[in-house]
Amino acid sequence: MNTVTESGLYRLTAHEIQDALREGTATCAAITQSFLDRIEAVDGKVQAYVDVWKDSAMARAEGLDKAIAGGEPAPPLAGASVALKDVFCTKEGRTTCCSKMLANYRSPFDATVVTRLLEAGAIPVGKVNMDEFAMGSSTENSAVQLTYNPWNLNHVPGGSSGGSAAAVAADECAVALGSDTGGSVRAPAACCGCVGLKPTYGRVSRYGLVAFASSLDQVGPLTKDVEDAALVMNVIAGADPKDSTSARRPAPDYTAALRDDVSDITVGLPKEYFEVDLSESVQAKVDDAVKVLEGQGAKVVEISLPHTHYAVATYYVICTAEASANLARFDGVRYGFRAEGVKDVRELYTLSKTQGFGPEVRRRIMLGTYVLSSGYYDAYYLKAQKARALIRGDFEKAFQQCDVILAPTMPMPAFAVGDMMKDPLEMYLTDVYTISANLAGIPSISTPAGLTDDNLPLGLQLMGKHFDEETVLRTAYVYEQHAGLDMGRPPIA
């Protein structure tokens, strides 16, 4: 366990918190107070949180301490402070998706993943910022505030789970939850120098996750190391009768998969991923990672994912179509923002959506409505679904040659605030390496790969077979243990 003073308990990982509780060197209350003090000290600069739950967090921590002192065993995430992306329904506080449309919405229920975290002893400390309705790659589309990268406050934290990644990187929580539709867990993890896991589609319940694109969305953890990602997965994974898309298969013990051995693993390098514009610093880190894994006994082979070049177009047809359908419910009638001074129902719908949604959300709704409209459905949406099947087939063939696929997470480090807001297409292309895993429904992890000369983090991505998060986590763990990275902590006060 890290040796820290009581005031520095916020530096602990979730598994180190469990060690501290077992050894009696810290209490849940002291740990929680340390994280709350950290939020108070640095979040004015980072702006990760949109709501902090001080009172309830301390009450839960004190209740846990009392139960443990009374002889009850500490639950698996006891005392671990958790930041929740504001896309998860919670009975506490508001669930706004960082949109004017849901600015005052209060959920009557908790998302399944939130319930499971609470049952495991985790302590939610608040909601964190995101791109509005999870539509974006930089968290600049939030209707609430900008979130800044703790490594350089002039740069973005990635998106759409930028608040989750920034909170983890700035030590404002032990772990965070995000959602990943096209890279929204992995990309901010890469930008902020933390671990981000997108599980297999159906491995984690989506009940209580406000939908963006239902066939692509998946819940995943953002953590300080790979062991914590496995620890959180032990809690949140598994079938849920409230979610018809959750897989009816038992989840394994992911922490048991973290063996320091990859001698039986074959790593695939997709040649198509290195034929597009890739910064020299990212390419160098990928090359270094290959050497690390080969040095630990892994076999590395070249593979082909021939339909990769269609992935971005395919993704943005499918995700906008599903967004158009999912966001139709926000009509100014039942709940959410309602325009005032309207003359008729048509004007109510038009003005409520126009005023309630931000420009990026409106853009995606219009694109999705267009590709689903009469005369264009076959030309765009149906063709995209066929391309998706080809992309999934590429991965199935590739996994006949290898166990995991290694690739960059992003083609460049985090860009400066405002750099890409004027060109949506350029922003969309930053997802080029992450969206294929969502289209195929496979698990994928981003783990820190070091820093650029400008002191910005870079991420390494590992993708695996359906429901084989164990191999993905094990490979990432071995890389983490042997890469020799000493990134330190972000240079914020």
Write out the catalytic residue numbers.
Answer: 85, 160, 184
Going by pLDDT thresholds of 50, 70 and 90, the confidence category of residue 346 is very high
By the 8 A CB rule, do 132 and 358 touch? Answer: yes
Three-state DSSP class for residue 339 = coil
Q: What is the DSSP letter of 415?
A: P
Please write the tens of the pLDDT for every residue from 379-418. 999 999 999 999 999 999 999 999 999 999 999 999 999 9
For the segment 452-460, the average pLDDT, to the nearest whole number, is: 96
Percent with pLDDT over 70 in the chain: 99
Q: What is the DSSP letter of 379?
A: I
Average pLDDT, the chain: 96
Domain ranges in the chain are 6-259+409-450, 309-385
Tokens encoding 320 = 């906008």
C-alpha–C-alpha distance, residues 306 and 251, integer Å? 32
**pLDDT of res. 493:** 60
Tokens encoding 364 = 């995606």
Q: What is the DSSP letter of 389?
A: H
C-alpha–C-alpha distance, residues 412 and 422, integer Å? 18
Going by pLDDT thresholds of 50, 70 and 90, the confidence category of residue 297 is very high
Going by pLDDT thresholds of 50, 70 and 90, the confidence category of residue 2 is very low
Query: Has domain 6-259+409-450 been given CATH number 3.90.1150.10?
Result: no
**pLDDT of res. 1:** 40
**pLDDT of res. 4:** 62
